[in-house]
Amino acid sequence: MFNEMSQMIELLGGDRFRVNAHAKAARVLKDTTADIEALASDGDTKALIALEGIGKGTASKLIELAQHGNMSEYDELRDQIPKGLMEVLEIPGLGPKTVKLMWDEKNVESIEDLLNIIEDGSILELPRMGQKTVDNIKESIEFMAQSGGRLHIGIAQGVADRFVEMMSAVKGTKQCAFAGSLRRGKETIGDIDILIATSDPEAAREAFTHAKGVIKVLASGEKKSSIRVAIEDESSRWGAEDNTAVQVDLRIVDESAWGAALMYFTGSKEHNVRLRERAIKQGMTLNEYGLFKDDGTDKTPPQERGDKPLACKTEEAIYTKLGVPYYPPTIREDRGELDLEETPDLISVEDIKAELHSHTTASDGKMSIEESAGIAKSRGFHTLAITDHSQSSAVAGGLEPERLRKHIKAIREADEQTNGISILAGSEVDILVDGALDYDDDLLAELDVVVASPHAGLRAKPKQATKRLLKAIEHPLVHIIGHPTGRLIERRPGLEPDLNEIFAAAIEHDVALEINSHWMRLDLRDTHVRAAVEAGCKIAIDCDVHHADDYGNIRFGVLTGQRGWLTKDRCINTWSKQKLHKWLRSKR
């Protein structure tokens, strides 16, 4: 609602301060792990404004919404905006300024109205609206109709990796990388940005626009080319085949200004704004061409004046010249990182030494114990926990108690016969709707690892969800809470417990909370991880292995951990074998 209010105020030509204030409130509310509804229902203004980024105005609106079921300012704004106009805003490439112009000048109040003025050609009467722009708008409407919206990081990453590899091999290429929200590790992606520095721009454009899978060339210019690419989607088992295509943009940049361009096109917008503000205070200006000395008297861009940049070749050089530490892309979200005197030593993929959540053919996995252990060993892991589903997960081939006991024996035998890695007997045990676990305590005590996870009843009210998870955390035989909310990105929201209570209980009972690395889950999500880390929780990063390829998903779990400022010491998967096994045994 706050995000929509920001857009509606801009459509109505409102004050820029109000536009920005509502947009900021939207970001803060999205990121917080506090139980906003409970605080607002109680009318606790003091507690609300104690949350960073929430002022008195925002607090009063939240209280109004919680206590009365509506927000008067929101309703007043919606009364002034045609419903269909908000749908026009969702068209890729159209911002509030352009949509407002269409509304004011051509009475566009819906996507149908927009298509009508495209059809009769009257859209060309609008300022700065050429045929090429109109064609792109029409393409975007068609694309939106056949697309599932934003793309999961796991699918976008595959497309980006393919293009970086391909473009790096093109004649004249000096440097090539992906940028944008994908480089920052966001869980969903709008489009993919590829940057290239090359001595042969024409060869780069030719290779890019004629790449395998190109459906449509949207633009092919001197500095930027855009294409629409078919997605070879291997994710049908997750039902994630909504998106059939994605837009990929190629930006040709000067090698000498590589660092400045990479920083600019990586974002986030909010992070870059804060950096530019810092530069201005120091008598400098920062843009995609570099960091320049600038007193603000000459409005001509410094690169056009021929000024020599103070820093531009690397991101590190620019941050150093600004007097701040290097900020890894994953934390560039204006969530307090610019206040840091020293950047935290964030976890990396290389730090992961154990997989503690995996499935075999005993339940719904596709590998034997030995096959999975071979892959884990090849990745340098010292420990693999086999955690097939418990009996209530019938659709996933969950194991009845006697089958589990036979499985435990098979795991022990495999461990004895396999050198170079420890194979532990575990189970992903369902947390039932009342918080009880799916096996009795005697059987649980036979397991080396218990990952307790919610799979059913994922629409429970927040209080019930909290009570349910707390009961599982308090169980003395539980090591890890797997994918704690049970969400599937863009498909189901999952549970919404009071996470601060969950964190406190996890610390008290020495239970780790999982980041499930599958790109359809990423649960805990980044903002939850940040709050859990600040509270002092132990975190597990697991791949929830079912297929051989699932081991590769660790990169997405680690990215999510980085976005939550997770350091190596807080993640149990990075511990030495001796330390990890000692902790696991402490609950037996």
Residue 316 lies in a domain: yes
Bond from prior residue into 524 cis (ω within 30 degrees of 0): yes
User: Are residues 245 and 267 both part of a single domain?
Assistant: no
What's 54's domain CATH number?
1.10.150.110
Give the mean pLDDT of 60-69: 94
**CA-to-CA distance for 98 and 114, rounded, in angstroms?**
12
Kindly state whether residues 239 and 285 are assigned to the same domain: no
pLDDT at 354 over 90: yes
- pLDDT value, residue 20: 87
Can you name the residues that pair with 247 across neighbouring β-strands?
Answer: 228
User: Domain boundary at 318, 339, 360, which?
Assistant: 339
Of 231, 252, 273, the residue at which a domain comes to its end is: 252
As for how many domains the chain has, the answer is 4
Give the pLDDT of residue 238.
46
β partners of residue 286: 291
Residue 402 sits in a domain whose CATH number is 3.20.20.140
Domain stop point among 110, 129, 146 = 146
189 shares its domain with 268: no
Question: Please, are residues 229 and 214 in contact by the beta-carbon 8 Å criterion?
Answer: yes
Q: What is the CATH number of the domain that holds 213?
A: 3.30.460.10
Residues 136, 218 contacting (CB under 8 angstroms): yes
Query: Does one domain contain both 23 and 131?
Result: yes
76 lies in the same domain as 23 = yes
What is the band of 242 on the pLDDT scale with cuts at 50, 70, 90?
low
pLDDT digits (tens, 9 = 90+) for 197-229: 999 999 999 999 999 999 999 889 999 999 999
Contact 555, 349 (CB under 8 A): yes
Highest mean pLDDT among 34-43, 49-58, 163-172, 482-491: 163-172
Contact 230, 215 (CB under 8 A): yes
Same domain for 455 and 573, yes or no, is: yes
pLDDT at 236 over 50: no
564 and 435 in a common domain:
yes
CB proximity list for 3: less than 8 A, separation 6 or greater: 22, 23, 26
Would you say residue 344 lies in a domain? no
Q: Which residues contact 580 (CB under 8 A, 6 or more apart)?
A: 354, 383, 572
Task: Assess whether 135 and 13 both reside in one domain.
Answer: yes
The mean of the pLDDT values for the chain is 93
What is the per-residue pLDDT across 10-61, written as a single tens digit (0 to 9) for each?
Answer: 999 999 899 988 988 888 888 787 778 888 999 989 989 988 778 999 999 9
Look at strands 245-252 and 192-198 and give their pairing: parallel
- Domain co-membership, 415 together with 469: yes
DSSP track, 26-37: HHHHHH--S-HH
Given a cut of 90, is residue 491 above it in pLDDT?
A: no
Q: Which domain does 18 fall in, by range?
A: 2-146
CATH code of 271's domain: 3.30.210.10
437 in a domain, yes or no? yes
In this prediction, residue 295 carries a pLDDT of 83
Report pTM.
0.83
Find out whether 357 and 480 touch, Cβ atoms under 8 Å. Answer: yes
End-to-end CA distance of the chain: 48
